Chains A and B, each alone.
Chain A
C-alpha cells in the first residue's frame, strides 16, 4: 500500500513538473506576476511528493518488503540497518529516485531562498528546473519504476552487492548526486538568461553560490569514492581512470572552470558568453556522466542497468537537453552584450588561462572516455584507454595549470604586474626548492621527477597564501596589526587560498603515494613476517568470524619495531553468503599522513595466505586536499558579497524603529 502511494506520489510530482515547466514561463513572457508565482508552489509541492516517494521506498527497504522487485534484488533481511537504508540508492531505480529527489530539493531551494531574484528570472529558472525534473520523472515512471511489485513475493532477498555494503559507499552517491544535480541550477540560470537575452554581474552573483555548493558536494563525493576504491577494492590505488570515475571528473573540471569564469563576470562583467556556455556544458557533463553510468554502455560496479531501453531513454534526454540548450545558445548568445576589457596580464587574463587549460583538460578526458566506445561502435575493434593515455594528455595540461595557480590571485584586475607577483612569491619558491631538495635527499628510489612534483606542491601550498600575506601585511607590520587586517579580509579570499592550498596538498599526496610507494607480496604462514623499512609485519594468526550476512577470514597482524609490538591491524576476506561473493577489507595503519596498507589474497593449502603490504607515504593528503578545497568553498559561499539584495543591517534598522514617546 505504501509502495503504491509512493508510485502515485511520483505521478503527482510529474503533473506538478508539467505545470512548473509551462505556467511560470508563460507568466514571465506576459509579465503576469501571479502566473510566475505558480512555480514557487509547484517546486515545493514536487519536493513534498518526491520526498514521500523516497520515504516510501526507504520504508520498504527497512521493513524488508520482499513483494517489491527492487527490494528483492538489492536487499536481505539479515543486512545491517544502515545498508538497508543505503541499499535504497545502491541500485539503478533507487539511485534515479535519489537523483530526482536532490533535483527537486535544489528547485525548492531556489523557490524558497531566491526571493530576492528578479521575478521573471526566477520564474524562468524554475520552469527550466521543471523540464529537467519532468524528463527524469517520465524516465522513472516509464522505464525504471522502483515500486514494481512481485507476485508471489519471495521469502528472502538477493542482498545488496557486497562491494556497496560499506559506509563510504553509503555516503558517496548522495554527495556525488548533489554535485551533479546542483549544476542543473547553473544550467537553469543560463537558459533563463538566454531566454531573457539579458545577463549582468548580478546574474553571476546569483549563480556562484549554487555552483559553489554543487562543486563542494562533487569535490567531496569524488574524494569519498576514491577513498572507498582505495580500501575496498583491495588494490590500494586511489584513481584508476575508469570511465565511471572520469564521468564524475568531467563535470568537476568544467564546474571548476565555471566557478572561476563566474568570478570574472561578477567583478568585471567580462566573459559573459563564455560563462553561459560553460554553465550549459557543465550540466551537459553531469548528464553525460549519468548516461555513461546508468545506461549500461560501461561495465563496472556502478553500471546497474543493462536494459537497453533505459540507455536509449537517457540518451534521448541527454540529446534533447544538450542539443536544445546549445541551439538556444547559438541563437541568443549574440544578444548578450560584451563587458569590460582587460590586458592579457591581469586577474582576468589569469582566469582566462585557467579556463582555457581546464576546458582543454576536460576535452582530453572526454576523448579518452568516449573514444573506445566510439571505436567499438564504428569498427567493432575493442581497445582500452587507461592511465598511460591520461598521463600523457591530461597530465601536461594539469601541470601547466598547477604551475600558474599561485600567480593568478596576485595579479590585479584589468592590468596586472607579473614582475610584482613574482616578487611576492619568492618565499613560496624558497620553500618549494627546500621541499624538493629534502625529497631528493631523504627519499630513496622513485622517479627522478618526483622531487620536482614535491617542489611544485609546496610552491602551490605556500603560494596560495601569498595574497593573504600581502593583504594582512604579515611580517612587515606588528602581528596585532596583521591580525586586525586578517579579520577584515573577505572570507572569499580565505576560501580561495584554502582551496588552492588543498589542491597543492592533494598533489603532494599523489606524488608521495605513487613515487615512493613500496609494495611487498608474500605468502605467509602464521608467525611469518614481511620486513618493511625497519618494521616487521608479522602474521599472528588466521581465523574465521561470522558477521550478520557474511563470513570473515581474518588475518591478525602485528607491526613490530625493534622487538616490541608497535601496532596491531586486522585485514580480512569477507564472504557474502547470499551473493556468493567475496570482498577485501583492507587493514590500514596510519602513521601521520602515511599509511601501511595490508590486504589478504587467496588462501593456499596448508594454511598459507598471500599477503600484500604496501607503504604509502603521504597518501592521506590525497583526500585531505579535497576536504580543504571543500572547506575553502564553504568559506567562499559564506562571503557577504554573495548574499545580495538589500544589505541586511540596513533592513534591520528599518524594521525596528523605536516609537518616540
Chain B
C-alpha cells in the first residue's frame, strides 16, 4: 500500500491536519510493538491497551511534541509509552498479573503445528512460567530483558530507547538474566546456578 511507504514525518503532518488514512497508517505501523512492550512490562492487557491509546492520543492532540530532528517517530512513541509504563508500575508496584488471557479475551495462541496435546500443554506451561518470571523482575531489569531478549533489540537500540548508556543496559540485563535464571531454575527444581542471581 502506497501510504505505508510514506515517511513518518509526512504521515504525521497529514494526520495532524485530520487525515484519517495517514493516522491509521502510523497507528498500524507502531501500535503492535508498543502494545507488546507495554503488555510484557505491565502484565496487564488492560493497562497495555490504555497505554497504547494514550500514546496515540498524544499524537493526535499534540503532534508538535514530536520533533523529527530529535529522532525517529518510533523512538519518540516508545519513549512516551515507556513513561506511561513506568508511571503505571509506580502506581502498582510489583503487581503480578496471573492473567493468561489475551486482551481480546482469548487464551494464548499456539503455533499451528502438528504437536501432540501433551507437548502443547507443556509448551503453554513453559510460556506461562517464563512470562510470570519476567513479570516478577524489578522494573529496570525487566525492561532490559524485554527489550534485549523478547524484542531482540541490540544493546544500542535498547540504550537509546531507555535513554541510558549501553553499559547500564548490559548491567541491567546481566542482573535480569541472573534473577530470571534463579527464578526459573527454582521453579523447575533444578537449582544448578540459582546462586548466580544473587551476585
Does A associate with B in a complex?
A: no
Q: What residues make up the interface of A, taking CB atoms closer than 8 Å to B?
A: none
Q: What residues make up the interface of B, taking CB atoms closer than 8 Å to A?
A: none
